[in-house]
Amino acid sequence: MRHLWILRHGKAAADAPAGGGDAQRPLVARGRADATRLGRRLAAGTGAFGLVDVPVPAIALCSAAARTRETADLVLGAMDAGLRLESYRSLYGASTGTVLGYVRELDDAVASALVVGHNPAMFQLAWELVGPVPGVADDAPDGDDPDGDRAVLRSHGFPTCALAVVTLTVDRWEDVDAGRGALAGLFRPPY
C-alpha cells in the first residue's frame, strides 16, 4: 500500500505583484492560516484526521509557483518533521499525467507522499486515482459509483487548501495509475 496526500494550494491573491505573472501570486492571510493549521493537524503523526492506518507524508512534491511553494513551506514548517520538499516548475499548470510522472519516480522506501499543486490538476488527480480501472467494465449507469469516492469528491468539491488522501493498492510507486486508489479522506478548511 502507498498513500498519496493531494493538496490544493491555499487561498491566493487575485492579482500578482507588480511585474509578476500568475505564478507569482502569493497567499493571502486566510491561505497562510489554513496551511499552518493543516500542518499542525498533520504534526499529530499517524492518525492525523482520524486516519489511523495512514502514515503522514515522508516527502512533499510541489509546483514552484509562489502560492504552492508558500503553502508547502507553511504546512511542512508547522509539521516540524524535517520532510524533504522537492519543487518543480513543470508542476505549475501540469496535467495529471505530468504529476503522476513525478509520483511514479518516488523511492519505494517512502510509503506516503504529499503533492501540493493547482486545480484542476489536483482534483482531477484524485478523481482519476479513485475512479474505475481503465478497461474494466463499470456497472454504474453513469460510469461512476453513485455512492462511492467520486460521488464524495463531486459533492464536496476541492476548494483552496482542500486535501484528499488516497490509499493506493500498489507495492511500488511506479505502478500508480488510474483506478488504483480509494479515498481515505477528504478534508477542507477550516482545519
pLDDT at 133: 63
- Asked if 12 contacts 161 with a C-beta cutoff of 8 angstroms, the reply is no
- Give the neighbor-by-neighbor strand order of the sheet with 112-117: 84-88, 59-63, 112-117, 2-8, 163-168, 181-187
Expressed as residue numbers, the domain containing 23 is: 2-187
Quickly count: other Cβ atoms within 10 Å of residue 187's Cβ: 19
Provide the CATH number for the domain around residue 50: 3.40.50.1240
List pLDDT tens digits, range 110-135: 999 999 999 999 999 999 999 986 65
Gyration radius of the chain's alpha carbons: 16
Of 184, 9, 182, 166, the closest CA to residue 103 belongs to 166
- Asked if 31 contacts 147 with a C-beta cutoff of 8 angstroms, the reply is no
pLDDT at 170: 97
Of 154, 87, 93, the closest CA to residue 118 belongs to 93
pLDDT at 82: 85
List pLDDT tens digits, range 122-178: 999 999 999 986 655 454 444 555 569 999 999 999 999 999 999 999 999 999 999
